[in-house]
Amino acid sequence: MKISTKGRYALRMMIDTAQNQAEGYVALKDIAQRQNISKKYLEQIVLQLTQAGMLRASRGHQGGYKLAEPPENYTVGAILRAVEGPLSPVACLDQQPNQCARRDFCLTLPLWEGLQAVVEAYLDGVTLRDVIEGKVPRP
């Protein structure tokens, strides 16, 4: 499993939004400038995060985006899943229940399931607030 640029940028966008929403909605152009990310690319990401219910949008002069809930209510895993999809290390684990024709006799399936469980437990155990406050647990 490899987190794409989209996933990394989505996390940076959520962090930036959380840090700068005290005055209200945060303009996408400001996030793009602070994070040195193309505004066009952020427009794609913000659409997915808004559809996932993580961001609220406001149009107009004072428009922009803000978190729909407090930062402690978002895990890194949830943010990444919103833009990346499943965090599976192999394709056969993307769907639940597993639809792979080899699932009943695959000797490596338990290995991949274990890896997925470890990755998901870690990413779902870290909140946006943890990242902002520098409290990300290290192995």
What is the domain partition of the chain in residue ranges? 1-85+127-139
pLDDT of 54 > 80? The answer is yes
Query: What angle (nearest 5°) sits at the alpha carbon of residue 40, between those of residues 38 and 45?
Result: 95
CA–CA dist 51, 116 (Å, integer): 25
H-helix segments, the chain: 5-20, 28-35, 39-51, 76-84, 109-124, 128-132
pTM over 0.95: no
pLDDT of 74 > 80? The answer is yes
Q: What is the mean pLDDT of residues 43-59?
A: 96
pLDDT of 1 > 90? The answer is no
At residue 48, the pLDDT reads 97
Q: What is the mean pLDDT of residues 104-119?
A: 91
At residue 102, the pLDDT reads 84
Q: What is the CATH number of domain 1-85+127-139?
A: 1.10.10.10
Q: Determine contact, residues 10/82, Cβ cutoff 8 Å.
A: yes
Calculate the average pLDDT of the chain.
93
> Each residue of 114-128: pLDDT tens digit?
999 999 999 999 999
